[in-house]
Structure 1
C-alpha cells in the first residue's frame, strides 16, 4: 500500500459522525442540517432536459480535452464574467468538478524528487488541499486567516525558508468557510512571491457566483490582467457548475490560465482517465451559456442571508460574508463551550447540525484558527434556514440567561 495514505486525516464529516455517535436528537424537532455545503436549490429544468436529449453520447468515448464547443463555452463565459479573452484550444480544460481537479493538479505540479517540497494553503481550508499535498509527497504549511482583516490569509506570516521550498499554493476566494474575497493588493503580493520563488498558484473559485455585494468577486485571472500579467504565468483558476447552477451531481467545471500548465495537466489527465462524458459536456455547454438561472439562484441566497444573519448576529459574533453560502460564526464565550461541544449540544437539544470550525483547520503556529467557530451552510430553503436560526438563538439564550 502507498505509505502516504497513513498521513491522511479523517474528513470533517467523518469526525462529525463520530462526535454525534451517542447523541439522540429530540423527536419533537424536525432535523435541520447546516453542516454540509451541498447545494439544495432546484436544478434548472433546461439542464435536465439537455441531459436527457443527448443520451446518444453514451455510445462514444470522450476526448480528455473536451469538445471544442465546450471549451469555447468556457472562454465565452470568462469573457462575459471577467472581460478576458482566452484561447479555447490552449488555456482551458474541462474537469469533473473542482474537487477532482484540485487533487489531480497537485499531482501534476509537485516534484517530490526535490528536497522537502512545500505547499502553502489557507487555514482553515478545504481538506482536499491537504490530502492532495500529502499524497503528492509534499508537506503542507498552514497560513492562518485573520479575523481582524475580514479573515484575510496572513501570507506575511509564512517564513522565508518555507517560501523557498514552496512549489504550489492554494488560494480559495471566495473562501471556504469564511466567505472572504481576496483583494487586488493580496494578489499582487502572491504574484510577486511566485515570481521570486517559482511556485504555482491554484485559485479555487467555486463560490464566485454567489455574492452579496454590488460588485462580483475578483477572480485570479482577472487580478492577473489588472496587474499586467496577460500570460497568467504560474496561475490556474478552478471553477465549477455545482454551486453556480445547483448541479453538484453533474461533476462539471473547468480550469483556465497558464497555457504551459494546461498542457502538462492535459497530459496527466489523459493517463488519469478523467474525460468528461459527452452527455455532461452538452449539459455544461447549456449551463455556462445561461445567466438567468444564476441570477435567480443568487437572489435566493441573498434573501435567505438577509433574514438569517440578523437573527444570529443578535446572539453570536457573525456577519454577512463577501460571498459563498456559509456563515462563519463565533461560539459565544459566555457558553463556556468548545465549538465541538456547541455542535453536539445544539443537536441534542434542538436537532440542528452545524460543523465545528476546528474540524476545518489544523493546529499550526500554536493555535487552531477554526477553534471556537462553527460553519453554517445555508443551503436549504429560506423557511428551513430561518427555523434553524431561531432554534440556535433559543439554544444560546437558554444557556446564557
Structure 2
C-alpha cells in the first residue's frame, strides 16, 4: 500500500460519529446541521434534460467533455466574472464535481517533498491531496482578528520558496469569509515570484446575500491585471451548491491553458469522464440564473430567521457568503456533545475541520452549522439552540 495513506486523518464526519458514540439524544426530532449537503429541490428542467439524454449512456464520453458544455461554462464564466476572452477549447475542463478535481489536481501538479499551502480550517480534500502526492501541507490560520481570511503574512519566506501549490477557498468553508480582488492580486504576484500554482476553490461563490455585489473570483483578479492567459491560476466551480445538484457530480476547472493541457493528459489515464446525460443536464444548469437567484433567496430567508432567534445567545454573525454559520462556543466538541444530548441537534465541531498550527487549532472554539435543512427545521433548530444556551 502507498505509505502516505498512513498520514491521512479520519474524515470529520467519522470523528463526529465517534464523538456521539454512547450518547443518548433527547427525545425530539433529529435536526442535522452538520453536513453541507444542499437540500433544496433540484431544478426540474435540469432533471428533464438528464432524462431526455439517457440514450447517450450507450456512448463513451470524452474526458475533455463535449464542446457545447465547455462553451456554456466559458459563457457563464465570462458573464459572471467579467472576463473578456475565455477559450472553451483550452481554458475550460468539465470535472465530476470539485472534490474529485481538487484532489486530482495536486496529483498532476505537485512533486514529492514540496509544500502545499492551504487555509486552516479547510476542506480536508486539500490535505489528503497534498499528502498522497508526497508533499507536505502547510496550514495558514484563519482567525477572527483577520476577518477569518488566511493570514498570509504568517507564512515564512522559506515556505513560500518550497511552495508548488496554494489552495484557496473563497467564499470560505466553514467561515464564509471572502478574499477581495486585492488579496488575489497579491497572491498572484507571489506565485510569479516563487513559481507556484494557485488553485481557487470557488464552489460557494453563488451563495451570497447582496445581489448587487457577488464575490470576486481569482480569474476576475487576473483580468483586472491584464493577465488574460490566467497564468499559474485555476478555479474550481460546481453545480452542487449553486444549483442544488450534488448528486449530478458536475463541475469544472478553468484557467491557465498550459496547466489544463497537462491536467487533461492526467485525467485521460485517471478515467474520470463525465457521463453524457450529465453533461447535457449541466449545460441547462449553467445557462440559467433564475433558479440560482431563487436558491439565494431561500438561504437569505433562513439566515435572517435563524440569526434573529440566536441574537444575544450565541457569538455569531452572518457570513459574507456560503450556507454556514461559524459561532464561537468556547469548546466546540463539548458544545456538540451536549447539544446533541439536550436537543437532538447535530453540529460539527470546528476542531474537526482544522489542524494545530503555530500552537493553535483555529477551529477549536467554534462549531459549524449548515443551514441546509428546510426553513422550518432551521427555525426549530435555532429555538432549541437558544433554549440550550440559556
Q: Which residue of 2 aligns with 1:257?
A: 255
TM-score (normalised: structure 1):
0.96
Residue 353 (structure 2) pairs with residue 355 (structure 1): no
Q: Which residue of 2 aligns with 1:291?
A: 289
1:292-325 per-residue CA deviation (whole Å, 9 max, x = no partner) reads 1000001000111011123223211111111000
- Cα distance in structure 2, aligned partners of 1:124 and 1:222: 25
SS of structure 2 residue aligned to 1:238: strand
SS of structure 2 residue aligned to 1:131: helix
Q: 2:157 aligns with which of 119, 142, 160?
A: 160
Q: Which residue of 2 aligns with 1:31?
A: 30
Q: Which residue of 2 aligns with 1:221?
A: 219
- Quote the offset at 1:96 in angstroms: 0.1
Q: Which residue of 2 aligns with 1:341?
A: 334
> For the Cα contact (< 8 Å) 2:171–2:178, is it kept in 1?
yes
> For the Cα contact (< 8 Å) 2:70–2:93, is it kept in 1?
yes
- Cα distance in structure 2, aligned partners of 1:253 and 1:246: 12
Q: 2:239 aligns with which of 224, 241, 261?
A: 241
- Quote the offset at 1:227 in angstroms: 2.1
SS of structure 2 residue aligned to 1:375: strand
- Equivalent residues in 2 for 1:278-317 (5 A)? 278-317=276-315
- Equivalent residues in 2 for 1:179-194 (5 A)? 179-194=176-191
Q: Which residue of 1 aligns with 2:144?
A: 147
1:173-211 per-residue CA deviation (whole Å, 9 max, x = no partner) reads 000000011012211221111011000000000000000
Residue 121 (structure 2) pairs with residue 124 (structure 1): yes
Q: Which residue of 2 aligns with 1:199?
A: 196
1:261-312 per-residue CA deviation (whole Å, 9 max, x = no partner) reads 0100000000000100001001000110111100000100011101112322
Q: Which residue of 2 aligns with 1:396?
A: 389
Q: Which residue of 2 aligns with 1:373?
A: 366
- Quote the offset at 1:365 in angstroms: 0.6
> For the Cα contact (< 8 Å) 2:181–2:218, is it kept in 1?
no
TM-score (normalised: structure 2):
0.98
> For the Cα contact (< 8 Å) 1:26–1:348, is it kept in 2?
yes
Structure 2 stretches lacking a partner, 5+ long: none
- Cα distance in structure 2, aligned partners of 1:229 and 1:320: 34
Q: What CA RMSD, in Å, does the superposition of the two structures yield over aligned residues? A: 0.8
- Between Structure 1 and Structure 2, how many residues are aligned? 388
> For the Cα contact (< 8 Å) 1:212–1:321, is it kept in 2?
no
Q: Which residue of 1 aligns with 2:19?
A: 19
- Cα distance in structure 2, aligned partners of 1:221 and 1:68: 21
Structure 1 stretches lacking a partner, 5+ long: none
- Cα distance in structure 2, aligned partners of 1:129 and 1:155: 17
Residue 97 (structure 2) pairs with residue 97 (structure 1): yes
SS of structure 2 residue aligned to 1:237: strand
- Quote the offset at 1:44 in angstroms: 0.9
- Cα distance in structure 1, aligned partners of 2:111 and 2:285: 36
Q: Which residue of 1 aligns with 2:7?
A: 7
SS of structure 2 residue aligned to 1:329: coil
- Cα distance in structure 2, aligned partners of 1:95 and 1:294: 20
- Cα distance in structure 2, aligned partners of 1:311 and 1:362: 31
- Cα distance in structure 2, aligned partners of 1:23 and 1:161: 46
- Cα distance in structure 2, aligned partners of 1:269 and 1:25: 45
Q: Which residue of 1 aligns with 2:107?
A: 107
SS of structure 1 residue aligned to 2:40: coil
Q: Which residue of 2 aligns with 1:86?
A: 86
1:97-129 per-residue CA deviation (whole Å, 9 max, x = no partner) reads 0000000000011012xxx30000000000000
